[in-house]
Amino acid sequence: MKTKTLGQFIIEKQSDFPYAKGELSRLLRDIGIAEKIVNREVNKAGLVEILGETGETNIQGERVKKLDVFANDQFIAALKAGGEVCAIASEENDEIIPIESEISKNAKYVVAMDPLDGSSNIDVNVSVGTIFSIYRRTTLSGPGTTEDFMQRGTEQFAAGYIIYGSSCMLVYTTGKGVNGFTLDPSIGEFCLSHPVMQTPKMGSVYSINEGNYLHFPEGVKKYIKYCQEEDKATQRPYSSRYIGSGVADIHRNLIVGGIYIYPTTTKSPKGKLRLLYECNPLAFIIEQAGGKATTGGKRIMEIDIKELHQRTPLFVGSSDMVDTAMEFMVKYTTEKV
């Protein structure tokens, strides 16, 4: 079989970005380095002492597992060493990490990331992920600032996610479609396995944490009931699939067709997921694959960002399913986000 590695693929596509002169390929190379190291640790998480919690809490007051910290450290180190990035924002750091070094003095990009998505699944050998979003800096020089991250999702230069699953996969977009690469551990290379990914317009899977049902907006409650109703024409009832690692749920739905919803709840009135490093990059990828990503009312990538760890509700997936869920929101939910 003729395989194409990530490196070969990027060089081939470099003419799409004449102004970027290989910077993107170096950035993705840096991300790939951290990804392989994190993948190695995820694979042995059941075997070594790294399993478990550090006992610290992150800025959002969540329990931080050791692997979150490890992944965060690896991505920061790889991006710093690569020299293409002037600042990093991470779920695990309350403030941005400005980068000031000789090799990054001409760096034009900033990276926002969720280094370990699905952290509640680390201890139980279930897929976890990494999400990243790349922007061009808006400040002119020196280390990056928080201002460089205060850009709408529509301004993303590239975005991607990694799944540490039965195989390790990297899926990314630069705004010209979505491509997926699977790590071939025998050669240590990411190989193009899912070229030009497109999500079905309609699917039959819905993914939501129904344990929060009582706290959902009325529109979401009614939409869930709609998913469960018998109707031959629309092939309902749909199947419910919820892993609890957003990357894995959204990746599966991208491939087979489906909708993932993390709405507002009475406990989290702004939603749970973070706009900058979870929702925007996932929205960019899903839109590039032909799907939709909204808050239940508005397009995710057009939301104004005011703070690094800003939260938002998320309705993402097959376009017809997102449209229907939004119709339920319009009809039954008066409070708009």
Site for ligand AHG, rule CB under 6 A: 62, 91, 114, 117-120, 209, 244-246, 249, 272
How far is 139 from 153, CA to CA, in rounded Å?
Answer: 17
Identify the DSSP state of 31: H
Part in contact with Mn ion (CB under 5 A); list of ranges 77-85, 86-94, 185-193, 226-234 = 86-94
CB of 322 to ligand AHG, least distance (A): 16
Residue whose CB is less far from ligand AHG, 246 or 313: 246
And the tokens for 70?
Answer: 């490890």
CB of 129 to ligand AHG, least distance (A): 8
How far is 198 from 28, CA to CA, in rounded Å?
Answer: 22
Residue nearest to Mn ion (CB): 117
Residue whose CB is less far from Mn ion, 114 or 148: 114
Identify the DSSP state of 296: S
Phi and psi at residue 77, to the nearest 5°: -65, -45
Report the partner that residue 209 touches, choosing among ligand AHG, Mn ion, none (CB closer than 5 to 8 A by kind): ligand AHG
Residue whose CB is less far from Mn ion, 114 or 287: 114
How far is 303 from 151, CA to CA, in rounded Å?
Answer: 9
Report the partner that residue 145 touches, choosing among Mn ion, ligand AHG, none (CB closer than 5 to 8 A by kind): none
- Between the alpha carbon of residue 99 and those of residues 68, 85, 125, 147, 296, the distances in Å are 21, 7, 34, 14, 36
Which one of residues 23, 35, 91, 287 is an interface residue with Mn ion (CB under 5 A)? 91
CB of 194 to Mn ion, least distance (A): 22
Which one of residues 30, 35, 84, 114 is an interface residue with Mn ion (CB under 5 A)? 114
Report the partner that residue 244 touches, choosing among Mn ion, ligand AHG, none (CB closer than 5 to 8 A by kind): ligand AHG
Residue whose CB is less far from ligand AHG, 245 or 318: 245
And the tokens for 51?
Answer: 């399993």
- Give the bridge partners for 171, in sequence order: 161, 180
Report the partner that residue 189 touches, choosing among Mn ion, ligand AHG, none (CB closer than 5 to 8 A by kind): none
**Please, how many CA atoms are within 13 Å of residue 146, restricted to the half-sphere of its CB?**
10
And the tokens for 232?
Answer: 């031959």
Which of 159, 164, 153 has its CA nearest to residue 178? 159
CB of 118 to ligand AHG, least distance (A): 5
And the tokens for 41?
Answer: 């640790």
Classify the phi-psi angles of 294: left when phi > 0, otherwise alpha if psi is within -120 to 50, otherwise beta.
beta
Which one of residues 23, 35, 117, 287 is an interface residue with Mn ion (CB under 5 A)? 117
CB of 156 to ligand AHG, least distance (A): 19
Instruction: Please report, as ranges, the residues that interact with Mn ion according to CB under 5 A.
Output: 91, 114, 116-117
